[in-house]
Every structure is written in structure tokens, then in C-alpha cells.
Amino acid sequence: MAYIHREGYPTLSILFVILAAVNALLIYFLMNHWLVYLLLLVSLGFYGFVLQFFRNPVRHTPLDDSLVYSPADGKVVVIEEVYEKEYFKTARLQVSVFMSPLNVHANRQPISGKVTYYRYHPGKYLVAWHPKSSELNERNTIVVLHPSGKSILMRQIAGAVARRICCYLQEGQKVQQGAELGFIKFGSRVDIFLPLDAQLKVKIGDSVKAGESLLASF
């Protein structure tokens, strides 16, 4: 079962009023012309297309401190060892999930723990698959300390279309695996930086779902 995410209420309300006004004018001026019915169908289709951006299906995440779930719906586009220079300042295993406009856009907690770091970075709006988007685009960086003492870093990244990223966390907050952590409008990308000894459960090209698909284990 899916609900409409609260981030969609303003957009959907404004769009409904605009489309209703435009279609009312078309009906008034064109009366029963066949073009009116065509434009009505186009309007309904467009509204339905935008509506699906904000769907928020119920997810059931089996809690397990040894597992790391995907924080986003989408496709795994990057798996590589990198130097993480914002927080850890050491080598980490990066896994990136690209979110298309057709994916669910709500982001979820991959692990339980405590938020030890949160920063919002203004920036550019390069396409999400650009290699520098993780460093140059508008983004949120979140670090969660796992009960084992290990930490993971997540980065919500805005893209050329997704120009609104939301994060509902703050430093010191305790979080639970599978709980909602934020939202990225109209697709983009989420990077997660894992310890080098994490055991990966995905490969490049895999489709994943937030709070359901395993990325790795500790």
C-alpha cells in the first residue's frame, strides 16, 4: 500500500489549482471542441505522472544490527574504494544509488544508531551521474554511529532536475533502521560510505529499494 508523501502536498495542491483553472478556461472558450477532451486527458495524465513522484509505500524493514540496507530506491551505479575527505579523512567503500524520476523518492535509514554529524552544503546542480556531483552539487551529509562502534556516512545529492533535498535529522538524534530520514524531489542520487571491511551484497546495475534491499553486512 502506498501513501502520498507530505513533501508532495504543496506541489500537488498548486498544480491541481493551475490545471483546474486552465481546463476551465479551455472548456469555456472551446466549448465541446474535441481538443478540449484531448487536453483534459493530457492534464490528467500529467497530474498522475507528478503524483507518482510523491508516492510513499509502506516498507517493512527486518531490524538486524549486522545488516546495512539501501537508503534509497534506484540503481547501484558506483561501487569503489575512495578517499572520503569531508568527515572520515580516510579510505572508505562508496556505494552510490541513482534515483530516476520513476523511483520512490523517500530515503530511509540503512542502520540504527546515533547521528554524530550533519551538514548542509549549497552547491551546483550537475547531472547526478557526473563524477564530481558528490563534491560540487547541493547536498546533505549525515554520519550515523552504529552500535558496534562503526560509522557510515550518507550523502543526499541534488541533481539537474532534483533541486530540493530534505533531511529530517539532527546531530545527537537516535535513529532506527528503516525509518525515514529524508526526501529528494524528482530523483537524484544517494551515496553511502562504508568501512572497508563491510561485506557487499550488491553489484553495479542492481535495482534496490530503500529499507528492504541489502547493501552490505558488518
C-alpha cell belonging to residue 39: 487536453
DSSP state for residue 7 in the 8-state scheme = G
* 44: its cell numbers: 490528467
- The phi and psi torsions of 125 (rounded to 5 degrees) equal -130, 55
Report the phi/psi class of residue 65: left, alpha or beta, with left for phi > 0 and alpha for psi in -120 to 50.
alpha
Question: Which of 70, 133, 188, 213 is labelled catalytic?
Answer: 188
d(Cα 170, Cα 131) in Å, to the nearest integer? 28
60: amino acid identity, one letter: H
- Residue 141 · residue 86 · CB < 8 Å: yes
Q: What is the dihedral of CA 177, 171, 142, 101, to 10 degrees?
A: 70
Is 133 annotated in the active site? no
Inter-residue contact 197 to 170 (CB < 8 Å): no
Active site residues: 188
